[in-house]
Amino acid sequence: MLHLSIREIQKQLSTQNIHVTNVLKQTLRRIEHIKDLNAFVTVRNEDEILKDVEENDKNKNVPLRGVTVAVKDNFCLLNTKTSCGSKMLDNFIAPYTATVVDRSIRAGGLVVGKTNLDEFAMGSGTIDSYSGPCRNIWRSGISYKLLDKNESLPESWSVAGGSSGGTAVAVAAGAATVGLGSDTGGSVRIPAAWCGIPSLKPSYGLLSRHGLIPLVNSLDVPGLMARNVEDLQVYFEILQGKDEFDSTSVDYKCDDSVDFGKIKLGVPSEYFCEGMSHECINVVSETCNLFSDHGVSVTSVSLPNTDLAVPCYSVLNPCEVASNMARYDGVQFGLPGEDLSFTEAMAASSRSAGFNDVVRGRILAGNYFLLRRHYEEYYLQALKIRRMVQNDFVNVFKDVDFLLTPVTLSDAPSYDDFIKKDNRTQTAKQDHCTQPVNLAGLPAVTIPVDLSTNSLPLSVQLIGPYGSDKKLLKIAKWIEDKISFPTLVIS
Protein backbone atom coordinates (compact mmCIF):
# COMPACT_ATOMS: atom_id res chain seq x y z
CA MET A 1 0.00 0.00 0.00
CA LEU A 2 2.89 2.38 0.71
CA HIS A 3 3.67 2.88 -2.96
CA LEU A 4 0.11 3.89 -3.91
CA SER A 5 -0.75 7.37 -5.18
CA ILE A 6 -3.59 9.45 -3.72
CA ARG A 7 -5.87 8.41 -6.57
CA GLU A 8 -5.02 4.72 -6.05
CA ILE A 9 -5.56 4.95 -2.30
CA GLN A 10 -8.99 6.50 -2.84
CA LYS A 11 -9.89 3.76 -5.30
CA GLN A 12 -8.81 1.00 -2.92
CA LEU A 13 -10.76 2.55 -0.06
CA SER A 14 -13.91 3.00 -2.16
CA THR A 15 -13.86 -0.66 -3.20
CA GLN A 16 -13.16 -1.65 0.44
CA ASN A 17 -9.99 -3.51 -0.52
CA ILE A 18 -8.23 -1.62 2.27
CA HIS A 19 -9.25 0.41 5.31
CA VAL A 20 -7.78 3.63 6.68
CA THR A 21 -6.45 1.81 9.72
CA ASN A 22 -4.61 -0.67 7.47
CA VAL A 23 -2.84 2.18 5.71
CA LEU A 24 -1.96 3.79 9.01
CA LYS A 25 -0.63 0.62 10.66
CA GLN A 26 1.56 -0.20 7.68
CA THR A 27 2.90 3.36 7.56
CA LEU A 28 3.79 3.34 11.26
CA ARG A 29 5.65 0.07 10.71
CA ARG A 30 7.56 1.68 7.85
CA ILE A 31 8.49 4.64 10.07
CA GLU A 32 9.88 2.22 12.64
CA HIS A 33 11.70 0.34 9.88
CA ILE A 34 13.56 3.46 8.68
CA LYS A 35 14.20 5.06 12.08
CA ASP A 36 17.98 4.89 11.53
CA LEU A 37 17.55 7.50 8.80
CA ASN A 38 16.38 9.93 11.53
CA ALA A 39 13.68 11.45 9.33
CA PHE A 40 11.18 11.94 12.15
CA VAL A 41 11.53 14.03 15.31
CA THR A 42 8.13 13.00 16.67
CA VAL A 43 5.99 10.04 15.63
CA ARG A 44 2.35 10.24 16.66
CA ASN A 45 0.58 7.19 18.03
CA GLU A 46 -2.27 5.54 16.19
CA ASP A 47 -4.99 6.73 18.55
CA GLU A 48 -3.92 10.38 18.22
CA ILE A 49 -3.99 10.21 14.45
CA LEU A 50 -7.34 8.46 14.23
CA LYS A 51 -8.87 10.91 16.69
CA ASP A 52 -7.90 13.77 14.35
CA VAL A 53 -9.69 12.24 11.40
CA GLU A 54 -12.54 10.46 13.15
CA GLU A 55 -15.17 12.86 11.84
CA ASN A 56 -13.65 13.08 8.37
CA ASP A 57 -13.50 9.31 8.02
CA LYS A 58 -17.30 9.23 8.15
CA ASN A 59 -17.29 11.24 4.95
CA LYS A 60 -16.15 8.90 2.20
CA ASN A 61 -15.56 11.80 -0.21
CA VAL A 62 -12.79 13.73 1.59
CA PRO A 63 -9.91 14.00 -0.91
CA LEU A 64 -7.11 12.89 1.44
CA ARG A 65 -8.94 10.03 3.13
CA GLY A 66 -6.35 7.39 3.98
CA VAL A 67 -3.45 9.57 2.76
CA THR A 68 -0.51 9.83 5.14
CA VAL A 69 1.16 13.22 5.67
CA ALA A 70 4.60 14.06 7.07
CA VAL A 71 4.94 17.57 8.54
CA LYS A 72 8.18 19.47 9.04
CA ASP A 73 8.73 20.24 12.71
CA ASN A 74 8.38 23.99 12.32
CA PHE A 75 4.64 23.75 11.62
CA CYS A 76 2.45 23.85 14.73
CA LEU A 77 0.20 20.91 15.52
CA LEU A 78 -2.17 21.14 18.48
CA ASN A 79 -0.93 19.40 21.65
CA THR A 80 2.19 18.15 19.84
CA LYS A 81 5.79 19.13 20.44
CA THR A 82 7.05 21.57 17.83
CA SER A 83 10.79 21.90 18.32
CA CYS A 84 12.12 23.43 15.07
CA GLY A 85 14.98 20.97 15.53
CA SER A 86 16.27 23.08 18.41
CA LYS A 87 16.91 22.59 22.11
CA MET A 88 15.37 26.05 22.55
CA LEU A 89 11.89 24.65 21.82
CA ASP A 90 12.37 21.15 23.16
CA ASN A 91 9.64 21.85 25.73
CA PHE A 92 7.19 23.66 23.42
CA ILE A 93 3.78 22.03 22.94
CA ALA A 94 1.84 23.84 20.23
CA PRO A 95 -1.49 25.36 21.43
CA TYR A 96 -2.97 25.42 17.91
CA THR A 97 -2.58 23.88 14.45
CA ALA A 98 -1.05 25.57 11.40
CA THR A 99 -3.57 26.30 8.65
CA VAL A 100 -1.99 24.04 6.01
CA VAL A 101 -1.82 21.20 8.54
CA ASP A 102 -5.40 21.82 9.62
CA ARG A 103 -6.58 21.78 5.99
CA SER A 104 -4.72 18.49 5.51
CA ILE A 105 -6.51 16.95 8.48
CA ARG A 106 -9.91 18.33 7.48
CA ALA A 107 -9.41 16.75 4.06
CA GLY A 108 -8.93 13.38 5.74
CA GLY A 109 -5.13 13.33 5.88
CA LEU A 110 -3.36 11.17 8.46
CA VAL A 111 -0.61 13.33 9.99
CA VAL A 112 1.81 10.61 11.10
CA GLY A 113 4.52 12.77 12.61
CA LYS A 114 6.84 15.77 12.65
CA THR A 115 10.01 15.57 10.58
CA ASN A 116 13.63 16.52 11.08
CA LEU A 117 15.15 19.80 9.89
CA ASP A 118 18.18 22.02 10.26
CA GLU A 119 17.73 24.02 13.47
CA PHE A 120 15.09 26.69 12.87
CA ALA A 121 15.29 25.81 9.15
CA MET A 122 18.78 27.31 8.79
CA GLY A 123 20.76 25.03 6.50
CA SER A 124 20.98 23.03 3.29
CA GLY A 125 21.69 19.54 4.60
CA THR A 126 19.49 18.70 7.63
CA ILE A 127 22.65 17.97 9.57
CA ASP A 128 22.36 20.78 12.16
CA SER A 129 19.32 19.51 14.04
CA TYR A 130 19.24 19.11 17.80
CA SER A 131 17.83 15.63 17.04
CA GLY A 132 20.89 14.70 14.97
CA PRO A 133 21.48 14.57 11.21
CA CYS A 134 19.00 13.08 8.75
CA ARG A 135 20.27 10.48 6.27
CA ASN A 136 19.27 10.28 2.62
CA ILE A 137 17.55 7.02 1.66
CA TRP A 138 19.38 7.08 -1.68
CA ARG A 139 22.99 5.97 -1.50
CA SER A 140 25.44 4.33 -3.84
CA GLY A 141 25.09 0.58 -4.16
CA ILE A 142 21.67 0.20 -2.54
CA SER A 143 19.71 2.95 -4.31
CA TYR A 144 16.76 0.81 -5.37
CA LYS A 145 15.84 -0.79 -2.09
CA LEU A 146 15.18 0.19 1.49
CA LEU A 147 17.42 -0.96 4.26
CA ASP A 148 16.80 -4.53 5.35
CA LYS A 149 16.03 -4.95 9.04
CA ASN A 150 19.43 -6.45 9.76
CA GLU A 151 21.40 -4.22 7.40
CA SER A 152 23.65 -1.62 8.99
CA LEU A 153 24.09 1.87 7.62
CA PRO A 154 27.10 2.41 5.35
CA GLU A 155 30.00 4.26 6.94
CA SER A 156 29.63 7.06 4.39
CA TRP A 157 26.07 8.13 3.63
CA SER A 158 24.52 10.88 1.53
CA VAL A 159 22.97 13.97 3.10
CA ALA A 160 19.25 14.51 2.59
CA GLY A 161 19.44 18.20 1.76
CA GLY A 162 17.89 20.92 3.84
CA SER A 163 16.35 22.31 5.63
CA SER A 164 13.31 20.11 4.92
CA GLY A 165 15.33 16.91 4.66
CA GLY A 166 13.23 14.89 7.08
CA THR A 167 10.06 15.35 5.05
CA ALA A 168 11.86 14.51 1.80
CA VAL A 169 13.27 11.28 3.25
CA ALA A 170 9.91 10.32 4.78
CA VAL A 171 8.11 10.72 1.45
CA ALA A 172 10.85 9.05 -0.63
CA ALA A 173 11.00 6.13 1.79
CA GLY A 174 7.25 5.46 1.76
CA ALA A 175 6.69 6.70 5.31
CA ALA A 176 4.21 9.30 4.00
CA THR A 177 2.32 9.82 0.77
CA VAL A 178 2.76 13.60 0.80
CA GLY A 179 4.80 15.97 2.91
CA LEU A 180 4.93 19.56 4.12
CA GLY A 181 8.15 21.53 4.28
CA SER A 182 9.04 25.21 4.35
CA ASP A 183 11.04 26.93 1.63
CA THR A 184 12.97 30.13 2.34
CA GLY A 185 15.73 29.84 -0.24
CA GLY A 186 15.48 26.28 -1.53
CA SER A 187 14.71 24.31 1.62
CA VAL A 188 12.06 22.15 -0.08
CA ARG A 189 13.52 21.95 -3.58
CA ILE A 190 17.07 20.90 -2.62
CA PRO A 191 16.10 17.93 -0.42
CA ALA A 192 13.43 16.87 -2.92
CA ALA A 193 16.04 16.95 -5.70
CA TRP A 194 18.58 14.95 -3.70
CA CYS A 195 15.97 12.44 -2.52
CA GLY A 196 14.54 11.89 -6.00
CA ILE A 197 10.99 13.20 -5.55
CA PRO A 198 9.07 16.11 -7.12
CA SER A 199 8.33 19.27 -5.16
CA LEU A 200 6.46 22.55 -5.40
CA LYS A 201 7.58 25.89 -4.01
CA PRO A 202 4.34 27.88 -4.50
CA SER A 203 3.88 31.56 -5.33
CA TYR A 204 4.20 33.66 -2.17
CA GLY A 205 0.81 34.01 -0.51
CA LEU A 206 -0.98 31.13 -2.22
CA LEU A 207 -0.51 28.89 0.83
CA SER A 208 -1.04 30.23 4.32
CA ARG A 209 1.97 30.74 6.60
CA HIS A 210 -0.19 30.81 9.74
CA GLY A 211 1.31 28.35 12.22
CA LEU A 212 4.62 28.09 10.37
CA ILE A 213 7.20 29.28 12.88
CA PRO A 214 8.86 32.08 10.91
CA LEU A 215 12.43 32.25 9.75
CA VAL A 216 12.22 35.04 7.14
CA ASN A 217 8.63 36.27 6.88
CA SER A 218 9.04 37.89 3.46
CA LEU A 219 10.55 34.74 1.92
CA ASP A 220 9.06 31.75 3.77
CA VAL A 221 6.41 29.65 2.04
CA PRO A 222 5.00 26.20 2.85
CA GLY A 223 6.30 23.77 0.22
CA LEU A 224 4.92 20.42 -0.92
CA MET A 225 6.58 17.07 -1.67
CA ALA A 226 5.18 13.82 -3.04
CA ARG A 227 6.38 10.75 -4.95
CA ASN A 228 4.59 11.84 -8.13
CA VAL A 229 3.43 15.10 -9.67
CA GLU A 230 -0.25 14.18 -9.72
CA ASP A 231 -0.21 13.93 -5.92
CA LEU A 232 1.36 17.39 -5.77
CA GLN A 233 -1.47 18.70 -7.93
CA VAL A 234 -4.13 17.18 -5.66
CA TYR A 235 -2.45 18.36 -2.45
CA PHE A 236 -1.88 21.90 -3.71
CA GLU A 237 -5.54 22.21 -4.71
CA ILE A 238 -6.58 21.29 -1.16
CA LEU A 239 -4.21 23.66 0.66
CA GLN A 240 -4.35 26.83 -1.43
CA GLY A 241 -6.63 29.75 -0.63
CA LYS A 242 -6.81 32.87 1.48
CA ASP A 243 -6.58 32.49 5.25
CA GLU A 244 -8.06 35.03 7.66
CA PHE A 245 -5.20 34.31 10.06
CA ASP A 246 -2.49 35.23 7.53
CA SER A 247 -2.53 38.78 6.17
CA THR A 248 0.00 37.82 3.47
CA SER A 249 -2.24 35.11 2.00
CA VAL A 250 -4.13 35.85 -1.19
CA ASP A 251 -7.23 34.53 -2.92
CA TYR A 252 -5.74 33.82 -6.34
CA LYS A 253 -7.30 31.62 -8.99
CA CYS A 254 -4.54 29.69 -10.76
CA ASP A 255 -5.04 28.81 -14.41
CA ASP A 256 -3.76 25.39 -15.51
CA SER A 257 -4.19 25.75 -19.27
CA VAL A 258 -0.98 24.98 -21.19
CA ASP A 259 -0.63 24.84 -24.97
CA PHE A 260 2.57 22.86 -25.49
CA GLY A 261 2.71 23.90 -29.14
CA LYS A 262 3.08 27.54 -28.14
CA ILE A 263 5.31 27.30 -25.06
CA LYS A 264 8.48 29.38 -25.07
CA LEU A 265 11.04 27.98 -22.64
CA GLY A 266 14.04 29.98 -21.45
CA VAL A 267 17.29 28.62 -20.01
CA PRO A 268 19.13 31.31 -17.99
CA SER A 269 22.88 31.13 -18.59
CA GLU A 270 23.72 32.57 -15.13
CA TYR A 271 22.36 29.46 -13.40
CA PHE A 272 25.26 27.34 -14.70
CA CYS A 273 27.70 28.53 -12.09
CA GLU A 274 31.23 27.65 -11.07
CA GLY A 275 31.42 24.29 -9.30
CA MET A 276 28.36 22.80 -10.97
CA SER A 277 28.89 19.20 -12.06
CA HIS A 278 28.73 18.20 -15.71
CA GLU A 279 25.93 15.78 -14.80
CA CYS A 280 23.69 18.59 -13.50
CA ILE A 281 24.38 20.57 -16.67
CA ASN A 282 23.72 17.53 -18.86
CA VAL A 283 20.29 16.76 -17.35
CA VAL A 284 19.15 20.29 -18.18
CA SER A 285 20.48 19.85 -21.72
CA GLU A 286 18.72 16.50 -22.06
CA THR A 287 15.45 18.00 -20.80
CA CYS A 288 15.81 20.84 -23.30
CA ASN A 289 16.18 18.24 -26.05
CA LEU A 290 13.04 16.50 -24.81
CA PHE A 291 11.07 19.73 -25.12
CA SER A 292 12.58 20.59 -28.50
CA ASP A 293 11.74 17.14 -29.86
CA HIS A 294 8.09 17.80 -29.02
CA GLY A 295 7.89 21.21 -30.67
CA VAL A 296 8.60 23.45 -27.68
CA SER A 297 10.70 26.55 -28.39
CA VAL A 298 13.82 26.56 -26.18
CA THR A 299 16.14 29.56 -26.05
CA SER A 300 18.97 30.90 -23.90
CA VAL A 301 18.06 33.92 -21.75
CA SER A 302 19.79 36.12 -19.21
CA LEU A 303 18.98 37.00 -15.60
CA PRO A 304 21.95 39.33 -15.07
CA ASN A 305 21.58 39.88 -11.32
CA THR A 306 21.49 36.19 -10.37
CA ASP A 307 24.95 36.31 -8.78
CA LEU A 308 23.73 39.06 -6.44
CA ALA A 309 20.88 36.93 -5.07
CA VAL A 310 23.00 35.01 -2.56
CA PRO A 311 24.70 38.08 -1.01
CA CYS A 312 21.32 39.83 -0.96
CA TYR A 313 19.74 36.84 0.82
CA SER A 314 22.72 36.70 3.19
CA VAL A 315 21.76 40.17 4.49
CA LEU A 316 17.96 39.99 4.41
CA ASN A 317 17.87 36.54 6.02
CA PRO A 318 19.77 37.40 9.23
CA CYS A 319 18.00 40.76 9.51
CA GLU A 320 14.60 39.08 9.68
CA VAL A 321 16.03 36.24 11.78
CA ALA A 322 17.27 38.76 14.36
CA SER A 323 13.77 40.22 14.57
CA ASN A 324 11.98 36.86 14.73
CA MET A 325 14.36 35.35 17.27
CA ALA A 326 13.90 38.24 19.72
CA ARG A 327 10.90 36.41 21.19
CA TYR A 328 13.10 33.56 22.48
CA ASP A 329 14.15 35.02 25.81
CA GLY A 330 13.36 32.09 28.09
CA VAL A 331 10.30 33.87 29.49
CA GLN A 332 7.76 34.19 26.66
CA PHE A 333 9.19 31.32 24.63
CA GLY A 334 12.10 28.96 24.88
CA LEU A 335 14.44 27.31 27.31
CA PRO A 336 14.49 29.05 30.73
CA GLY A 337 17.85 30.69 31.43
CA GLU A 338 19.87 29.51 34.42
CA ASP A 339 21.33 32.93 35.24
CA LEU A 340 18.54 34.77 37.03
CA SER A 341 20.67 37.69 38.27
CA PHE A 342 19.00 40.13 35.85
CA THR A 343 16.81 40.04 32.73
CA GLU A 344 19.57 40.34 30.12
CA ALA A 345 21.64 37.63 31.80
CA MET A 346 18.65 35.28 31.84
CA ALA A 347 18.02 35.82 28.13
CA ALA A 348 21.72 35.41 27.33
CA SER A 349 21.99 32.14 29.23
CA SER A 350 18.79 30.88 27.58
CA ARG A 351 20.10 31.62 24.08
CA SER A 352 23.57 30.30 24.79
CA ALA A 353 22.16 26.95 25.86
CA GLY A 354 19.18 26.80 23.45
CA PHE A 355 20.59 27.95 20.10
CA ASN A 356 23.38 26.38 18.10
CA ASP A 357 26.26 28.35 16.56
CA VAL A 358 24.43 28.82 13.24
CA VAL A 359 21.37 30.46 14.81
CA ARG A 360 23.40 32.63 17.17
CA GLY A 361 25.62 33.71 14.28
CA ARG A 362 22.66 34.83 12.16
CA ILE A 363 21.13 36.74 15.08
CA LEU A 364 24.42 38.58 15.63
CA ALA A 365 24.85 39.32 11.92
CA GLY A 366 21.28 40.56 11.58
CA ASN A 367 21.57 42.93 14.51
CA TYR A 368 24.86 44.23 13.08
CA PHE A 369 23.25 44.93 9.68
CA LEU A 370 20.32 46.69 11.36
CA LEU A 371 22.39 49.06 13.47
CA ARG A 372 21.61 52.67 12.59
CA ARG A 373 25.12 53.25 11.24
CA HIS A 374 24.89 50.14 8.99
CA TYR A 375 21.22 50.20 8.00
CA GLU A 376 21.62 52.02 4.70
CA GLU A 377 24.89 50.31 3.83
CA TYR A 378 23.53 46.78 4.20
CA TYR A 379 19.79 46.38 4.66
CA LEU A 380 18.58 49.08 2.26
CA GLN A 381 21.13 48.01 -0.36
CA ALA A 382 19.90 44.43 -0.05
CA LEU A 383 16.31 45.58 -0.63
CA LYS A 384 17.41 47.40 -3.79
CA ILE A 385 19.18 44.27 -5.04
CA ARG A 386 16.08 42.23 -4.30
CA ARG A 387 14.11 44.55 -6.57
CA MET A 388 16.74 44.13 -9.28
CA VAL A 389 16.40 40.34 -9.05
CA GLN A 390 12.62 40.64 -9.24
CA ASN A 391 12.87 42.92 -12.27
CA ASP A 392 15.09 40.35 -14.02
CA PHE A 393 12.20 37.89 -13.86
CA VAL A 394 9.64 40.50 -14.95
CA ASN A 395 11.76 41.31 -17.99
CA VAL A 396 12.55 37.72 -18.98
CA PHE A 397 8.89 36.66 -18.80
CA LYS A 398 8.13 39.23 -21.51
CA ASP A 399 10.05 36.99 -23.91
CA VAL A 400 9.49 33.45 -22.58
CA ASP A 401 6.71 31.67 -20.70
CA PHE A 402 8.74 29.54 -18.29
CA LEU A 403 12.35 28.93 -17.23
CA LEU A 404 14.24 25.65 -17.02
CA THR A 405 17.25 25.51 -14.68
CA PRO A 406 19.34 23.13 -12.57
CA VAL A 407 18.31 22.71 -8.93
CA THR A 408 21.60 21.82 -7.26
CA LEU A 409 25.28 21.91 -8.13
CA SER A 410 25.71 18.14 -7.85
CA ASP A 411 23.99 14.96 -6.76
CA ALA A 412 23.65 14.42 -3.00
CA PRO A 413 27.10 14.76 -1.42
CA SER A 414 28.33 12.38 1.24
CA TYR A 415 28.08 13.53 4.84
CA ASP A 416 31.87 13.40 5.17
CA ASP A 417 32.30 15.78 2.23
CA PHE A 418 29.42 18.04 3.22
CA ILE A 419 30.74 18.83 6.71
CA LYS A 420 34.12 19.93 5.34
CA LYS A 421 32.51 23.34 4.79
CA ASP A 422 30.52 25.30 7.38
CA ASN A 423 26.77 25.94 7.26
CA ARG A 424 27.09 29.45 5.86
CA THR A 425 29.38 28.34 3.03
CA GLN A 426 27.22 25.36 2.11
CA THR A 427 24.02 27.43 2.09
CA ALA A 428 25.58 30.09 -0.14
CA LYS A 429 26.89 27.39 -2.47
CA GLN A 430 23.91 25.02 -2.65
CA ASP A 431 21.18 27.70 -2.92
CA HIS A 432 22.55 29.39 -6.05
CA CYS A 433 19.74 28.12 -8.31
CA THR A 434 16.94 28.34 -5.74
CA GLN A 435 17.30 31.58 -3.76
CA PRO A 436 16.35 34.02 -6.57
CA VAL A 437 12.88 32.46 -6.80
CA ASN A 438 12.14 33.26 -3.16
CA LEU A 439 13.41 36.84 -3.51
CA ALA A 440 10.92 37.31 -6.35
CA GLY A 441 8.04 35.40 -4.71
CA LEU A 442 7.60 33.16 -7.77
CA PRO A 443 6.54 29.49 -8.06
CA ALA A 444 8.98 26.71 -8.89
CA VAL A 445 8.66 22.97 -9.40
CA THR A 446 11.45 20.40 -9.25
CA ILE A 447 11.29 17.03 -10.96
CA PRO A 448 13.84 14.17 -10.89
CA VAL A 449 14.90 13.18 -14.41
CA ASP A 450 17.97 10.96 -14.24
CA LEU A 451 20.54 9.18 -12.08
CA SER A 452 24.15 10.21 -11.66
CA THR A 453 27.09 7.88 -12.03
CA ASN A 454 26.76 7.40 -8.26
CA SER A 455 23.18 6.13 -8.77
CA LEU A 456 21.83 9.24 -7.05
CA PRO A 457 18.96 11.44 -8.32
CA LEU A 458 19.47 14.46 -10.57
CA SER A 459 16.63 16.97 -10.97
CA VAL A 460 15.65 20.05 -12.96
CA GLN A 461 13.69 23.14 -11.89
CA LEU A 462 10.84 24.87 -13.70
CA ILE A 463 10.14 28.52 -12.80
CA GLY A 464 7.10 30.50 -13.87
CA PRO A 465 5.47 33.91 -13.44
CA TYR A 466 3.50 34.60 -10.28
CA GLY A 467 0.40 32.41 -10.04
CA SER A 468 1.48 29.90 -12.71
CA ASP A 469 1.78 27.11 -10.13
CA LYS A 470 -0.74 24.78 -11.80
CA LYS A 471 0.80 25.31 -15.22
CA LEU A 472 4.22 24.37 -13.85
CA LEU A 473 2.77 21.23 -12.30
CA LYS A 474 1.12 20.32 -15.60
CA ILE A 475 4.43 20.68 -17.44
CA ALA A 476 6.22 18.70 -14.73
CA LYS A 477 3.63 15.93 -15.11
CA TRP A 478 4.38 15.87 -18.85
CA ILE A 479 8.10 15.50 -18.12
CA GLU A 480 7.42 12.77 -15.56
CA ASP A 481 5.34 10.80 -18.07
CA LYS A 482 8.00 11.08 -20.77
CA ILE A 483 11.09 10.08 -18.78
CA SER A 484 9.86 7.38 -16.36
CA PHE A 485 12.37 8.20 -13.59
CA PRO A 486 13.42 5.02 -11.69
CA THR A 487 11.82 5.41 -8.28
CA LEU A 488 12.69 3.52 -5.13
CA VAL A 489 11.02 0.16 -4.65
CA ILE A 490 8.64 0.34 -1.68
CA SER A 491 7.14 -2.91 -0.54
Give the tens place of pLDDT for each residue, 252-292: 999 999 998 899 999 999 999 999 999 999 999 999 999 99
Residue ending a domain, choose from 403, 433, 460: 403
pLDDT at position 55, please?
62
Q: How many domains does the chain have?
A: 2
Tens digits of residue pLDDT in 103-139: 999 999 999 999 999 999 999 999 999 999 999 999 7
pTM of the model: 0.95
Residue ending a domain, among 376, 403, 430, is 403
Asked if residue 295 and residue 191 are part of one domain, the reply reads no
Confidence of residue 146 (pLDDT cuts 50, 70, 90): very low
Residue 429 belongs to some domain of the structure: no
Q: Is residue 396 part of a domain?
A: yes
Q: Are residues 126 and 237 in the same domain?
A: yes
Q: Are residues 207 and 295 in the same domain?
A: no
Residue 471 in contact with residue 200, Cβ under 8 Å? no
Which tens digit of pLDDT belongs to each residue from 360-376? 999 999 999 999 999 99
Instruction: Let me know whether 148 and 246 are in one domain.
Output: yes
- Is residue 112 assigned to a domain? yes
In a domain, 72, yes or no: yes
Same domain? For 131 and 277 the reply is: no
We report the CATH number of the domain holding residue 56 as 3.90.1300.10
Q: At what angle do helices 6-14 and 229-239 cross, to 10 degrees?
A: 80
Q: Are residues 245 and 106 in the same domain?
A: yes
Same domain, 69 and 148: yes
Annotated active-site residue in 158, 163, 182, 199: 163
Check whether 141 has a pLDDT greater than 50. Answer: no
Co-location of 175 and 287 in the same domain: no
pLDDT at 15: 87
- Indicate which residue of 124, 158, 187, 414 is catalytic: 187
Residue 369 belongs to some domain of the structure: no
The answer to whether residue 386 is domain-embedded is: no
Q: What is the mean pLDDT of residues 191-195?
A: 98
Active site residue 187: yes
Domain range spanning residue 396?
264-302+392-403
Q: How far apart are CA 397 and CA 389, in angstroms?
A: 13
Indicate if 140 belongs to the active site: no
72 flagged as catalytic? yes
At 163-176, the pLDDT tens digits run 999 999 999 999 99
Mark which of 403, 426, 449 sits at the end of a domain.
Answer: 403
HEC string for the chain: CCCCCHHHHHHHHHCCCCCHHHHHHHHHHHHHHCHHHCCEEEECCHHHHHHHCHHHHCCCCCCCCCCEEEEECCECCCCCECCCCCHHHCCCECCCCCHHHHHHHHCCCEEEEEECCCHHHCCCCCCCCCCCCCECCCCCCCCCCCCCCCCCCCCCCEECCCCCHHHHHHHHCCCCCEEEEEECCCCCHHHHHHHCCCEEECCCCCCCCCCECCCCCCCCEEEEEECCHHHHHHHHHHHCCCCCCCCCCCCCCCCCCCCCCCCEEEEEHHHCCCCCCHHHHHHHHHHHHHHHHCCCEEEEECCCCHHHHHHHHHHHHHHHHHHHHHHCCCCCCCCCCCCCCCHHHHHHHHHHHHCCHHHHHHHHHHHHHCCCCCCHHHHHHHHHHHHHHHHHHHHHCCCCCEEEEECCCCCCCEHHHHCCCCHHHHHHHHCCCCHHHHHHCCCEEEEEEEECCCCCEEEEEEECCCCCHHHHHHHHHHHHHHHCCCCCCCC
Query: Does residue 381 form part of some domain?
Result: no
Tell me what pLDDT residue 149 has.
Answer: 43
Say if residue 89 is in the same domain as residue 203.
yes
Is the domain of 477 the same as that of 453? yes
Same domain, 28 and 174: yes
Query: Quick one: 153 and 282 in the same domain?
Result: no
